[in-house]
Chain A
């Protein structure tokens, strides 16, 4: 029986994928040379003024609706005042007094199949800061203002999670929802989705929350999982050994696998929030909210259910495929053209995922042509190629190839379905593998598989596996 309850809440910072920044016309494109996506406005030159990008409001409202929030009609931006070199104005524009969304709730399904709910306290809009890059020699720090004034939303959950499993399921749900809404590309590596974990530990069953720490710099699901394990253990150790926990912000070091104190609450800054007098209040109309609601896409859960119903997928595969909006779209387009949607899902979940992982590709980088993918799947279903040759053909499709029949022909990958050719190969293999044949006849089933492999090798991997099995069995028992 466990003695401690872990209590976790998340703050998720999401960079919105609007074309321009939140208060100026600069591009938000990722990867531009340093300090090229900035202007007098987002570098806070004297006399410049912020002009709010209405697209940010639209994206924030869509995100709020997607996460079950109430949309607030009156909005303003407030200044959060503090000095830091990555903050040119020396105040961050955020929504302190009147956040755009409140009281959300998402219902998630844990890997165990169990249902769980996480309440969302609020979502607010804000401007990102620039990026400091410390020189490896440690002698200077560079500043890149490209990220400064990028639009962000911060999604603040209630402390409704008690394990890494719940956190990851919640995070996956939020990420998928935002991706389906196309309001963010949610790339954790590029920093467009950043997670702060607030964690505390209390005696099992207690209603009083323990001392909370906040962990920053969590760049992947894996880092989050490890950080929660480390931090909850650190809390429990401290509590069990009578040590003291301080409320503080900690930085997760993924290389060391440890968290380190950044600043404690005693050193907390007084941000002197006040309404930004340069930005007029933003009133959100009921019509605007309705338009955002009407434009909502089919989200993951609905889509997965439909894939089960329409394409006969099992729920687990449907969940995996729909976890990524772009992969779901690829599946759906391909399956519509294929004789067997199941064949499509098999290759998509198998070889496609393998190649993506192997090459480190995100779904956004996929160049697969759905028509070619379908032609490939149909070639498998129709017995034109077998699975072994299929691996080579699939890689061609994965790389963007679009003429599957021509590729099969050019590379001689067509399946050998001719009984005579297969019989000849079987005879040859039996003649040169007497030991294996004897073993099989003595009852060693494994030897059968070995012989199948030899026949397939004889046929250069192109033999029809069903026929090989049948002919081999017949010959052995003759």
Chain B
């Protein structure tokens, strides 16, 4: 068995048992990247080999001396390139930050490194995490390992593709409106968006602050839970991070969901949803029933308001968050500007791609005098209604089940209409609006052999329970074990 076919926890266990060295794990990851990344373009930056081996030896020594107790110590991982890594270029896949080297690490990176995980490199994404296909990167599009002619989804496309292709064992992504779950679904891996505030945002380059969350992408749910054990909890540097009980999500995975009530959204069977996706959702519902859960089909009347509301709020916040990229202190600065105004206009015009510019313009518009009340303020009101409606559902049910996307991954270049691309998140963004934990997990394949992802959304702060639904599912299914090598991919 190739080491790269193991899960993160399995590799961690082998390392702790002395069956593999950290060095071997790191070299295997580097080899895998060397062999496949030229085709899928998941990485923007790979760490220097010598530095990695030195780090591997350091971690090995700490494992040997018993200092590192984490089950993930020594495991090679990748970090989405909108999450800051001290001394390692962090670009947000934008020309604007193409040469930005942060003098600090994100809290999540510090925590993973303290647990002994090894950051192999930085993963490709849609520019500034704005997109659903990972085609808008300044460093070129990411390809789907299952079919190189298809997109991996976005914005965490590199994070999903790297796990699917077996380049690293786990990755970090960020999810503002579905950016972890959509690529997880398209690439047949697990992606988890935690409750808003469960994981620190410090050092993650802001897209829309009120919805941004960092989360793991992994081969299975147990790995995601193990990653969450390292990531979660209060951070004094993020005022919105939450004090959480110090209990392990991994240990809480029982696979027992007997008597749990699941609400299956009727929208899963809407006209725009592919027949294969619908079929896999019915099958997933059956699987959950088989595990002893009660599954009931319900309506989510505000479903159609999710995307407009999300769009207004996300663009508004992003327009303000991205204003700091002004060519003054760091980042791209245009040559030839004759005055301050031109420094701004030229630097931003040259540094941002068209998708980012469009969102900044839309966001600026909805906050402008005369528009604020009819767009931004209205969107906040609708957001409150959506959260209320979800609360009402959770008063009766323990979880919501729906697909991650209406269809499997589209062809590269297929969805050039920005509006259509945007609507890829229609099943995903509600969890962001309401700050809810949501899990994407493989639920089968379509006729072309492309992965289909299901989604479980839970009550606020029931992250462990949400993960347990996925864990139960994976304990009786094996679609998550299939890899692109066995299918149509590389």
Contact = CB atoms under 8 A, between A and B. Distances in A.
A89 B90 contact: no
A270 B369 contact: yes
Interface string B78-95: 000011100000101000
Interface stretch (B114-122, B232-240, B465-473): B232-240
Contacts of B319: 81, 272
Contact of B205 (A47, A79, A273, A279): A47
Contacts of A48: 104, 202-203
Given A46-B102, A48-B202, A49-B202, A274 B367 contact: yes
Contact of A274 (B92, B106, B316): B316
A163 B320 CA distance: 41
Contact of A88 (B236, B317, B329): B329
A278 B209 contact: yes
Contact of B372 (A89, A90, A143, A274): A274
Category for how many chain A residues contact B: 20 to 34
Interface in A263-280: 270, 272-274, 277-280
Given A46-B92, A88-B324, A83 B83 contact: no
B239 A49 contact: yes
A281 to B, nearest CB: 11
A44 B103 CA distance: 12
A274 B320 contact: yes
Contacts of A51: 236-239
A47 B103 contact: no
Category for how many chain B residues contact A: 35 or more
Nearest to B323: A90
A257 interface: no
Interface in B438-473: none
Interface in B80-139: 82-84, 90, 92, 97, 100, 102-104, 106
SS class, residues of chain A in contact with chain B: loop
A89 B324 contact: yes
Contact of A45 (B316, B330, B368): B330
Q: Which of A47, A52, A88, A274 has the most CB of B within 10 A?
A: A47
B422 interface: no
SS class, residues of chain B in contact with chain A: loop
A417 interface: no
Contacts of A85: 326, 328, 340
B364 interface: yes
Contact of B103 (A40, A90, A143): A40
A45 B317 contact: no
A66 to B, nearest CB: 28
A383 interface: no
A278 B240 contact: yes
Interface in B385-417: none
A50 interface: yes
A81 B367 contact: yes
Nearest to B83: A47
A146 to B, nearest CB: 14
A43 interface: yes
A64 to B, nearest CB: 23
Interface string A73-92: 00000010101010011110
Interface in B14-61: none
A30 B326 CA distance: 28
Contact of B90 (A40, A46, A278): A46
B103 A49 contact: no
Q: Which of A40, A278, A280 has the most CB of B within 10 A?
A: A278
B206 interface: yes
Interface of B: 82-84, 90, 92, 97, 100, 102-104, 106, 201-206, 208-210, 236-240, 316-317, 319-320, 323-326, 328-330, 340, 344, 364, 367-369, 372, 376
Given A91-B320, A143-B328, 12 more contacts: A46-B206, A46-B324, A47-B203, A47-B205, A81-B323, A81-B367, A90-B324, A90-B326, A274-B320, A277-B317, A279-B239, A280-B239
20 contacts: A43-B329, A45-B104, A46-B97, A46-B102, A47-B205, A48-B203, A49-B239, A81-B319, A81-B323, A83-B344, A85-B326, A85-B328, A89-B324, A90-B320, A270-B369, A272-B319, A272-B368, A273-B367, A278-B239, A280-B240
The 8 closest A-B pairs by CB, nearest first: A90-B323, A277-B210, A272-B367, A277-B209, A47-B203, A46-B205, A44-B324, A47-B205
Interface of A: 40, 43-52, 79, 81, 83, 85, 88-91, 143, 270, 272-274, 277-280
